[in-house]
Amino acid sequence: MRPNLLLIAAFSLAASALSAQAVHQKNLLITMGVGTGLVSLKSPTEVLQLDHGQCGAVRIAFGYAISDRWSLGMHYDRIGTTDHPGPVQRFRLTTYMLEGSFRPIIRKRGTVELSAGIGPSLLALTPTNGRLPARSQHGMMAFGVRYVFVISGTIGAYLGGDIAAGNEAGLAIEGAPVTDEQGNTVRTSWNSQRLGAGLVVRF
């Protein structure tokens, strides 16, 4: 009888240790937060260049845990500047990514999450003296790291950092290409580094 009791106790301890972690397989994690950081706009046209300008960002993402370590989901960012030198008053970026996440460390109340995403981004430049923005669509990649802390069974918080970059793409206004003095289409690319924090909902 005693060996059976010891076996049951050992099994119970192992099961409780396994369940005592922040993320399990089949969990759905939804993150919503804000951030701040730097954004750069690159272009052969000098007036459309910005080096390490200040930006703010809104982040919404969800990831479904296909295992305890791996998640797959979607990630949306809205990144915007408040000021820009030259004829452009400000610009904003909207990103849509398919994102994979890996958790190298999982504890009872927290986990470290590494992520990588790929998808399209939409750039809109608002002129200082005009209403119609110039737009371009870029392919992009992003990488991030987050620490997720679980406060209760459902609610938690996160603190993280992200870097992202978009490739070169041509600008257009109402579908018409924006050209320089030589008649070439004006092309831009961008990159950004941000820190953020927010709410986590776990199902």
pLDDT reading at 10 higher than 60? no
User: Which of the pair, 107 or 178, is modelled with greater confidence?
Assistant: 107
From the CA atom positions of the chain, what is the Rg in Å? Answer: 22
Q: How many CB atoms lie within 10 A of CB 132?
A: 9
Which of 11-15, 89-93, 172-176 is least confident?
11-15
Q: What is the mean pLDDT of residues 18-43?
A: 88
pLDDT reading at 51 higher than 90? no
Q: Which residue has the tokens 């703010």?
A: 56
pLDDT of the residue at 71 = 98
> For residue 144, what are its two tokens?
């991030």
Q: Where are the beta strands (DSSP E) in the chain?
A: 28-42, 50-65, 70-81, 88-106, 110-127, 134-150, 155-170, 172-173, 176-177, 187-202
pLDDT reading at 135 higher than 80? yes
Using a cut of 0.75, tell me whether the model's pTM lies above it: yes
CA distance 94 to 121: 5
CA distance 36 to 127: 23
Each residue of 61-81: pLDDT tens digit?
999 999 999 999 999 999 998
In the chain, % of residues over pLDDT 90: 63
pLDDT of the residue at 55 = 92
Assess contact for 85 and 50: CB atoms under 8 A.
Answer: yes
Alpha-carbon dihedral 159, 90, 123, 191, rounded to 10 degrees: -50
User: Which of 87, 85, 79, 92 has the alpha carbon at shortest distance from 178?
Assistant: 87
Each residue of 154-183: pLDDT tens digit?
999 999 999 999 999 999 988 888 888 888
The domains of the chain, with CATH numbers, are 23-202 (2.40.160.20)
> Could you say which DSSP state residue 26 is in?
T
pLDDT of the residue at 16 = 37
Alpha-carbon dihedral 10, 14, 19, 22, rounded to 10 degrees: 130
User: Which of 57, 54, 43, 47 has the alpha carbon at shortest distance from 82?
Assistant: 54
User: Which of the pair, 127 or 173, is modelled with greater confidence?
Assistant: 173
